[in-house]
Amino acid sequence: MLSVSNLSKMYGSQLLFSDVSFNVSARDRIALVGANGSGKTTLFDIIVGKASPDKGSVTIQHDVTIGYLEQEITPSSPRRLFDDVVSASTLITGLAHRIHVITEELKEEMDIESQAKLLSKLGELQHRFEAAGGYDLEHEASIVLSGLGFALSDFYRPLNEFSGGWLMRAALAKLLLINPDLLLLDEPTNHLDLEACIWFEDYVKNYQGSIMVASHDRAFLNRVVDRIFAIDHSEMLFHRGNYDSFVVARQRELEILEATARRQNARERKEMQFIERFRSKATRATQIQSRLKRLEKIKKVAIPRTTRKMHFSFPSVERAGEEVIALKSISKSYGDKEVYRDLNLVIHRGDRVALVGPNGSGKTTLLRMLAGVLPFDAGERNLGHNIAISYYAQYQLELLEPENSLLVELRRVSAEETEQRLRGILGAFLFGEDEIFKRVAVLSGGEKARLAMAKMLIRPGNFLLMDEPTNHLDIPSREILSDALESYEGTLCFITHDRTLIRQLANKIIEIKDGKIDVFSGDYDSYLCRRELRKEYEQPVSQQKEGSIPKGISPREKTRRRKVVEGELRNKYYRRSATIRKRIASIESELEEKERYFKEMEKNFCNPEHYQNSARVVETMEEYSKLKESIASLSQEWERLSLQEDEMRRAFEAERRDILL
């Protein structure tokens, strides 16, 4: 499918990779890994022809199609999202256009022979359209867009209304719909929330083509790839297995190299001791020359710089009170959009809280209110005893002084620290001795993120809040951050789409959805398991609700009253939702009938006898178009009503749970 031979590339004076050769076959699942700046994106650019190698060649088999998701996206257009995604399949849209043109010509053509030719051509195009999946294109586009987190109301919004992250998802949706033979994905999960990541993983695992993916998401790589191509100091390393098995194998390889180098050094020292001892004796001249030649022939064992975890002891933090922070009856809106109403939350000392939920659900809003940098409309925010807050957000990269060196920038927040300690901290964040005097202005995004993290963690407060701390960081840098936070003694609350970080750190998960929070005690895998099994989660009720049971009565009376209140609540729910449920059932019945007839029409398009009557063909095409619009309209109504009914059901279940607690 794809063959890369002896590829070499320089970027300025830096050698990215040299004499790289590999093949990609059908159904391959390959991860391209390496530190930031190692040349992963450049290699992808060379494969698709956007860049040229200094040496070597790329050979692609005839008829093999390649789809490339880049990290950077082009400016958006006023075109609607759904139309733009569907149009990505140029083969299908081209066939659809030609079918439409011929159908219009049939309406005007009166000559029998010309009609026959047009009907024959139309039948051929309809067959090709079906074989290419044309009748399933819009359905598949809806599945992909929904899986990537787009709501139905987003389908018909213009692209220029979406943020960069959502535009990246739209670009990914177009690629998945095109269904190329080889997908090149450059950091595809960077702009996906956890729900979309899980959906995307399942989609990739079932994808029929081949995939090469550059990613720093360890959980994603472990689930989807079975081969690793690692760019390490200009050479390419190959491993069969997932990312974790590659790390283990690489560590063993480095240990063997280190042991070999130690034996080699010991042998050299022994030879040099003999040479120095007897260099002045003429009787040993022959032996001296022999040993010198032997030393020259020894091939030095080079030990590459490792990506093993580095450990650094950060300062202890002052002990906080048991209750770190409490939010009481918080409400927050942006204009007409209500994000939270009557929000109540308490975080305790020692909690390591991960905030999860779809993009736009309010995670960053909640984190900023906790940090005290975002005002709210109503409610109270109460800090506990002896609380000192440290807040990390992406904008802090912009607060770095461009003309400062790394050492000077770190000294801004720790003037009393010795230079040796500051150098040690920078070293813990992967800045070498030759880099500490670099200006901030020349740092990459990942290097700036590491420096900002070092500034915050050199003197952390005892309540640490972090918004996407792994953005811009490669895998070694993420491991350093994970280690630093694992040894952190204070209370932690963070947002990240890096599931490996959540698994390593979190002991409590707060799920945010539709302006409400659910608190789950335990680690991330326990949260996923409980959510999957749809179990009831115990959650304290912040206040007594209308219809709740008063205290001070007997258990039997309490049970009786609860049943009465629950029955009244259930009847109220069924009365309110009856009309909606009836309409949903009616739509489902109507859709079933129309979709059955729709499929029969599509089958007729593949029957040559259907094209013998031109008038009937034109009439059928018009009927087909109207039926298609009707199905789409009913489907939209069904989804809107289903969401409304689901919201009513969840509200009922929440009230019922509060009564039973």
Q: In angstroms, rounded to a whole number, what is the distance separating the alpha carbons of residues 211 and 27?
A: 7
With a cut of 70, say whether residue 437 has pLDDT above it: yes
CA separation for the pair 244, 648 (Å, rounded): 44
State the Cα–Cα distance between residues 578 and 583, nearest whole angstrom: 9
Question: For residues 415 and 391, which has the higher predicted lDDT (pLDDT)?
Answer: 391
Contact between 514 and 374 under an 8 Å Cβ cutoff? The reply is: no
Name the least confident of 1-5, 473-477, 527-531, 537-541: 537-541
Q: Which contacts of 417-424 are long-range, i.e. CB under 8 A and separated by 24 or more positions?
A: 417/458, 424/312
Most confident of 30-34, 304-308, 422-426, 437-441: 30-34
Q: What is the enclosing helix (H) or strand (E) of 375?
A: none
- Whether the pLDDT of residue 159 is over 80: the answer is yes
Averaging pLDDT over each range in 220-229, 421-430, 457-466, which range is the top one? 220-229
Q: What is the pLDDT of residue 131?
A: 57
The most confident of 166-180, 197-211, 301-315, 327-341, by mean pLDDT: 327-341
Which of residues 371 and 609 earns the better pLDDT score?
371
Asked whether the predicted pLDDT for residue 253 surpasses 60, the reply is yes
- pLDDT beyond 80 at 592: yes
- What global pTM score does this model have? 0.62
CB 508 within 8 A of CB 353: yes
Dihedral over alpha carbons 634, 640, 643, 644 (to 10 degrees): -120
Spatial neighbors of 1 by CB under 8 A, at least 6 apart, are 23, 24, 25, 26, 28, 60, 61, 64, 181, 182, 210
Per-residue pLDDT band for 327 (boundaries 50, 70, 90) equals very high
pLDDT of residue 143: 85
- d(C-alpha 540, C-alpha 657), whole Å: 10
pLDDT of amino acid 621: 81
Single out the residue of 242, 236, 266, 251 nearest to residue 303, CA to CA: 251
Report pLDDT for 370.
96
pLDDT in tens, 483-502: 888 888 899 999 998 888 99
Most confident of 121-130, 206-215, 439-448, 574-583: 206-215
Q: What would the pLDDT profile of 520-558 be if each residue is shown by its tens digit?
A: 888 887 787 667 654 433 333 333 344 444 445 556 666
Nearest to 66 by CA among 74, 76, 58: 58
Please spell the DSSP secondary structure of 98-150, one letter per residue.
Answer: HHHHHHHHHHH---HHHHHHHHHHHHHHHHHHHHTTGGGHHHHHHHHHHHTT-
For a pLDDT cut of 90, what percent of the chain falls above it?
25
Report strand pairing: 182-186 vs 210-214.
parallel
